[in-house]
Structure 1
Amino acid sequence: MPSPEPSSVLRSPKLWIGSGLIVAVVSILFALLYVGGNVDPKGNLRDLPIALVNSDRGADTNGKHLNLGDQVVSGIEKSAANNDSFSWQVVSRQEADKRLGQGKVYGALVVPENFTATVAGLSNPKATEAKRPVLTVLTNQSAGSIGSSMASQANQKAAHAASARLGKDLLDRAAAQKAPLAPAAKLMLADPVNVEVADGHPLGTHSAMGLSAFYYALVLVVCGVLGANAISSQVDTALGYVHTDFGPFRQRMPLRHTSRVRTLAVGTVLMLGLSVVMGSLVELATVGILDMDASHLGLLWLYSVGTIAAVGVSALAMLAVFGTPGMLVSTIVFIAMAVPSSGATVPLEALPGFFRTLSEFEPLRAITGGTRSILYYDAQGDAGLTRAWISMGIALVASVLFGFGMTRLYDRKGLHRVPRPDESSDTAAAPAAA
């Protein structure tokens, strides 16, 4: 008698419900995280750090020593008293250059040494050729293009406001002297300051306008996550737990009963070894083939290998503990939550509070900071490299303890992936004895 045709798997409610829940969670989670973190950077902006430099030496006018640079600084600080979007840091030019070179400020506004003397020359009736004073706005794309743009806009706005205040004073002085002014002179005195924009920390032409560090770090994280998934699948295939399809061909190895701890150990050794291959190829592709601007190539290689290894071992631990859902968990942790909280595109100061909290422990922020330090900031530890090494070390140790601790617990409780032959015979003998 012919066997009945099996019912279509599409009629199974469990298949529809299970698949639907997974894709629903992924869809809404990625949408909320990616768009939610970047939808309103100006509205969420808090304490964006900007350096304010007063190098003005002042000048003697009418028997008094005057320093208009101090007035510019005090005017900006007074205007910023009720605005918490920006954090103006009054520092020396040397300190400003240092912070620009470590990515700790997104820009700077510089008052030059001869500022007061140049302004005084505008109202001097004996001057034959007036020279307009200059305020310099320094940008810092290495700290992030959006943050640098925000800082530049704030600096230019502050500089033009300072120019308007000085212009009012100059026009009042001219009126007090009762000296006739030509219309062109009045226009120049009303807005006397030239505002110049310059690059405070120049980058090479092959640095993606300050985003190459983020993309490089993201590649390392993706290599770690995908590498862990591939290694886990290959280990399971080699041990006979799953089969592998190559087009129309199927490979199925004899089953080897292996403990969960040993399986994770095999995958970890593979991950550590193949991280050398992946890290080398990533640097070869980006620096050797694409000509990405990079220095400290030996340190960059070591950092690439270490990052992929730390992320990969962490992802393997999640796969070993959570099983198939571990792939989704690692994707959410290392990519979905990490990218919008990394501060690489939109600065942390322009993210909602939830994402700022995520950035305290999400690995991509630290990894991007370390990459920036190597690529842009001469591998300075204070520029993010030290934090990156410490964060990766903590993550690696925590993942090893979590992964091997949980798999050992599973083994001790007899929760093997496939029942061993002796366990199967014991289970079959129990009903017979009864």
Structure 2
Amino acid sequence: MNRVHPFRVLRAKPLWIANGVIVGVLALLFTVFYVGANVDPAGHLRKLPVGLVDADKGAAADGKRIDLGARITESIEKSTAGGDKIDWKVMSEKEAKEELGKGKLYGALLVPADFSSSVTALSATTATADPVRPRLTVLTNQSAGSLGSSLARAATTTAAESASLQVGKELTARIPPAQQAKLPAAARVLLADPAAVTVEDGHPLDSHSGLGLTAFYYALVLVVCGMLAANVISGQVDHALGYTHNDMGPRRVHRPLLRATRVQTLAIATTLMAALSVLMGTLVLAGAVGIMGMDASHLPLLWLYSVAAIAVCGIGALTLLAVFGTPGMLLVTLVFIAMAVPTAGATTPLQALPDFYRFLAEFEPLRQITGGVRSILYYDAQGDAGLTRGWIMLAVGLGAACLFGFGVTRLYDRKGLHRVPEEDAVPTKAAVAAR
């Protein structure tokens, strides 16, 4: 008896071609999405929102009223040195604090109330030998993303230093040389560059907040749980209905075939996904907060949002698997991982991404979920800090998944595109008894 050795299958060209194309495309796409989005964030930076606060009350000098704070903010706002990289937003100190506390600003520059009076004092002949240097304060916001905060800090610090030099040049030009000679040496040095630039945290986070990244990683866990659960549930439902076998180590189990339409199969899997999302959401919250000690508040809301996010991601993944079959697994990986992570706006701000990635960010699930989690963890669950958008996009995603999934599978059923031939799908009495 001649028996063909199994390894002869390696001689089949279609096997090599099909697998080569699939893994090659995946490798290329992952590279494009991950590296392409982060290769030059500073070069792609555009309209990064940064606050510009003028709290200066002005001062009197030589019988005239001067307001150096207004001059600085106007100079920075109109400056074209940075092109359109920074979107300077002039606002009050209270408004800046509120915007920082909602993650809508990546940083801010604060001109203090005594700035003009402090600078004017440097040019007074009665100035002390050790004059007090006025300050310009750069406020950072790590809760909006560490990279975005760093980009805002660098741009704001540069703008503040340039403004200080410009003010120093104007003051020096206005003071006669004879009067400058009477100033203390320290005052003359500071007069050319009067302002000291200091950096402060504009929205401090708790110590167990991962420097503003716990929201992203928590949201990523929710998405991955939904995606992986969908793969598991899809396979187990097919096994329970008898469409596929189940390998448990060396043991192979195959159940009798039960007739089920594609719509019914998707409905069974969706029901399991919705129910098991409660378990997964509970365990994720317990693991992150209870075991790992992640700082979190509004725990009931965080639990509810976690369950909803896992359910929506899982049902979305089940839809792709039901509609596209085996290729659906690749689509799930691309949608929920490859395209999602670079466009989440957590590691790299959306304002520092190329236009194509900004487009993807409008509907990618991880970005929407991260915004909601960030609002709950960092911004006191304020709706306009990302939570409202998160809930809306979850609802839209669930509706789209259900319409697409059940609509297409119903179309398959109506056209007679059953998963097994009709005559093989009816279980015998012996098969039913065995179940």
Same-fold call, TM cutoff 0.5: yes
- 1:238 partner amino acid: A
Inter-partner Cα distance in structure 1 for 2:69 and 2:414:
73
Partner of 2:422: 420
Inter-partner Cα distance in structure 2 for 1:168 and 1:258:
82
The alpha carbon displacement at 1:171 in A equals 2.7
Inter-partner Cα distance in structure 1 for 2:185 and 2:283:
66
The alpha carbon displacement at 1:4 in A equals 3.4
Partner of 1:432: none
Indicate conservation of the 8 Å contact 1:80/1:86, yes or no.
no
Partner of 1:151: 152
The alpha carbon displacement at 1:422 in A equals 7.0
Partner of 2:242: 240
Unpaired segments ≥5 residues, structure 1: 425-434
Kindly indicate whether residue 403 of structure 2 is the aligned counterpart of residue 401 of structure 1: yes
Correspondence for 2:309 among 291, 296, 307: 307
Inter-partner Cα distance in structure 2 for 1:181 and 1:276:
72
Kindly indicate whether residue 364 of structure 2 is the aligned counterpart of residue 362 of structure 1: yes
Name the count of aligned residue pairs: 423
The alpha carbon displacement at 1:174 in A equals 5.3
Inter-partner Cα distance in structure 2 for 1:332 and 1:317:
14
Indicate conservation of the 8 Å contact 1:123/1:174, yes or no.
no
Indicate conservation of the 8 Å contact 1:163/1:193, yes or no.
yes
The alpha carbon displacement at 1:181 in A equals 4.1
Partner of 2:377: 375
Deviating more after overlay: 405-414 vs 186-195: 186-195
Inter-partner Cα distance in structure 2 for 1:143 and 1:174:
47
The alpha carbon displacement at 1:256 in A equals 1.0
Partner of 1:264: 266
User: Helix, strand or coil for the counterpart of 1:53?
Assistant: strand
- 2:416 partner amino acid: G
Identity over aligned pairs, percent: 60
User: Helix, strand or coil for the counterpart of 1:108?
Assistant: strand
Indicate conservation of the 8 Å contact 2:37/2:353, yes or no.
yes
The alpha carbon displacement at 1:149 in A equals 0.3
Relative to structure 1, the CA distance from residue 176 to residue 338 in structure 2 (aligned partners, 3 Å threshold; closer, same or farther) is farther
The alpha carbon displacement at 1:418 in A equals 1.1
User: Helix, strand or coil for the counterpart of 1:273?
Assistant: helix
The alpha carbon displacement at 1:322 in A equals 0.5
TM-score (norm 2): 0.94
Offset from partner CA, 1:21-77 (integer Å, 9 cap, x none): 110111000001100000010110111110000000111221111111011111212
Offset from partner CA, 1:272-323 (integer Å, 9 cap, x none): 0000011111111111111111110000000000000001001101111101
Relative to structure 1, the CA distance from residue 132 to residue 254 in structure 2 (aligned partners, 3 Å threshold; closer, same or farther) is same
- 2:349 partner amino acid: P
Indicate conservation of the 8 Å contact 2:131/2:187, yes or no.
no
Partner of 1:194: 196
CA RMSD of aligned residues (A): 1.5
Deviating more after overlay: 80-89 vs 393-402: 80-89
TM-score (norm 1): 0.94
The alpha carbon displacement at 1:268 in A equals 0.3
Partner of 1:36: 36
Partner of 1:385: 387
Inter-partner Cα distance in structure 2 for 1:303 and 1:423:
40
User: Helix, strand or coil for the counterpart of 1:179?
Assistant: helix
Offset from partner CA, 1:155-188 (integer Å, 9 cap, x none): 1111111111222233331526253345433222
Correspondence for 1:296 among 298, 304, 326: 298
Indicate conservation of the 8 Å contact 1:135/1:193, yes or no.
yes
